[in-house]
Amino acid sequence: EIQVAPFLNVTSGRNTGVAFGLATGGDPILLIAVAAAVVAVVLVMIVRAASPLCRAALGMILGGAVGNLMDRFFRAPGPLRGHVVDFLSVGWWPVFNVADSAVVCGAVLLVILTILGFDYDGGRSGWAARRFPADDSTQADDSAQADDSAAADAETGDARA
């Protein structure tokens, strides 16, 4: 174990469970199936998300899930039975890796965005709508086109009621 900072140690460990050592000793095929399902769902969500912040959070979750899934596929004791390598230790917290951190940070960011009112579809509600009003440039473009059309009609004498 190597102390990097007063609160952070680098160590070596193998995790047969999920993030932070939970579900240790679980069926490896089931763990891989759940991780693969998470990856598939997050990929669909990223494609559908219009909010760049939501996409960033989902990207963190996706990156962490894929990282741990690759450990499961390619690490010892063998294909589809591999253990995830955990190497970061912070005080009393269970040993974890960068992929675990990415998943947790992405999930926390999604929760914060939801609480603040940044919607998945790019819209805003609540605090976010009051603090960051939606860009009304499309409405301004529509009214400018209507003004141009009315001016052209007036020049040609083609006024519509």
> How many Å apart are CA 134 and CA 138, to the nearest integer?
10
Residue 84 CB neighbours (<10 A): 25
- Which region holds residue 41: left if phi is over 0, alpha if psi is between -120 and 50, else beta? alpha
Show the 3-state SS of 71-83: HHHHCCCCCCCCC
- pTM recorded for the entire structure: 0.73
148 confidence band (pLDDT: 50, 70, 90): low
Residues recorded for the chain: 161
Cβ 46 vs Cβ 120: under 8 Å: no
pLDDT given at position 115 = 93
Catalytic positions are: 86, 100
SS3 51: coil
Q: Which residues pair with 124 in a beta bridge?
A: 118
Cβ 154 vs Cβ 144: under 8 Å: no
Condensed to tens digits (0 to 9), the pLDDT of residues 64-74 reads: 999 988 888 88
Q: Which residues pair with 96 in a beta bridge?
A: 88
